[in-house]
Amino acid sequence: MHVSRKRSLLIGLLLMAVIVACSGIGLAEEYVLSDNTKAVYEKLMATPAVKKGLDFLSADDANTLAEQIEICEIPAPPFKEEVRAAEYMKRLAALGLKDVQKDAEGNVFGILPGTGNGPKLLVCAHLDTVFPEGTDVTVKVKDGRYSAPGIGDDTRGLAALLSVIRAFNETGIKPVGDVIFCGNVGEEGLGDLRGVKALFRDHKDIDGFITVDGDGAGWILYLATGSHRYEITFNGPGGHSFGAFGLPSAIHAMGRAIAKIGDLQTPKEPRTTFTVGVVEGGTSINSIAAQAKMWVDMRSNELPPLLAIEKELLAAVKQAVVEENARWNSDKITVDIKMVGDRPAGTQPADASIVQAMYAATVALGIEPELEGPASTDANLPISLGIPALCIGGGGRGGNGHAFDEWYENVEAYLGPQNVFLTILGLAGVDGVTQPLLEVRAK
């Protein structure tokens, strides 16, 4: 659908209740935009500078893809994002953002200043990937499909943010509130949201948060699935399987624990899960294991059931140690329980201003909005703090995320940056045109 046609649909779409399919997440079928939200987006879409920005983002599509490929080919393994961060910082500075810097955690960011007295909006894409050091990240192209580890998650988000900044430069649009553009570290795996945790620890004046993560346009993720992760190490005396028979085994203790964990029960609503994801231990087939280790992941869409399953699981681990020692009339088996991941759960209303703005922006572009169920993203942390936050896509389409054959297709990819741009305008406000939909929080 051409951009001009999309705009022609705006008034009709914004003046009616939008019917959406929201199965499984407990929302009413009818999503209603407030009169204020509709008025703001009617003004924005009638503003020549906004039209110019949307047209620019469409024209910038090839350049955005080129940057996506360039960034993807800069390795950013877990906890080793420095090289990609340094390059991204250079690009932010080259685009004229103010006070471009790198913080102690490794996040890089710069500010698009507002005209004053508006909210402060933080817009991020994460620098890190799940792939280990030494992974070949060369982008390969075949029949319009781009393949490489991390090509979508999240180099698409990083490239989309750069395109949005260029759109502000091209149009001269001045937001009312400050907009901080950031490449953050530590979103994936054992990174445990360390980048975003540092940002909200060190900056208490952030009023809203958007993370652009991966491909697609139109999906809106505003609910947070929490997770607790543990590294659990069983230790024992060890010995020869025949000569020292009668000593307790670290692997046997872990096996008892896994069997107990496998029998745990969780509620279907809110969805609560657990898994022993990785196990290792022992030295040889003819040894009584002196050490065994497992990594456990627990998740829930709400905190109380997450804490409940955590309590049961850790109790099962401790009971397994007791039983292994009792089996051999010993006290030699011990267990070390170390928390390695804490992603908070959280909710916010579907009619929160940040959701309203994203929904209206999506409709304005002629895209059918999709309110997603809970998931685990960088938005978890601010949502848990009561700060309005969203996770959205950077455009295009892709698949096989977190796999070595991850792929991306640049199909109507400009819709991602356009959606981010329009959402920012609604939330931060446009000088002389609209007031911010995002409220300044009481500090």
Give per-residue pLDDT as tens, 195-236: 999 999 999 999 999 999 999 999 999 999 999 999 999 999
Cα 193 to Cα 126: distance, rounded to the nearest angstrom = 10
Cα 93 to Cα 359: distance, rounded to the nearest angstrom = 31
pTM recorded for the entire structure: 0.90
Residue whose C-alpha is closest to residue 211's, from 391, 376, 436, 26: 391
Average confidence score pLDDT of the chain? 93
Q: Are 83 and 90 spatial neighbours (Cβ–Cβ below 8 Å)?
A: no
Residue whose C-alpha is closest to residue 302's, from 266, 350, 275, 355: 266
> What domains, with CATH codes, occur in the chain?
3-224+346-428 (3.40.630.10), 229-343 (3.30.70.360)
Classify strands 219-220 and 140-142 as parallel, antiparallel or unpaired.
unpaired
Cα 224 to Cα 221: distance, rounded to the nearest angstrom = 8
Cα 188 to Cα 402: distance, rounded to the nearest angstrom = 10
DSSP H or E stretch at residue 280: strand 272-281
- The answer to whether the peptide bond before residue 154 is cis (omega within 30 degrees of 0) is yes
Sign, Cα dihedral of 120, 416, 410, 223:
positive
- Residue 100, helix vs strand vs coil: strand
Helix ranges (DSSP H) in 125-154: none
* 286 token code pair: 């003819």
83-112 residue pLDDT tens: 999 999 999 999 999 999 999 999 999 999
Instruction: Inform me whether the pLDDT recorded for 2 exceeds 60.
Output: no
What is the length of the chain?
Answer: 443
Mean pLDDT of 52-59: 98
Mean pLDDT of 263-267: 97
Q: Are 333 and 250 spatial neighbours (Cβ–Cβ below 8 Å)?
A: yes
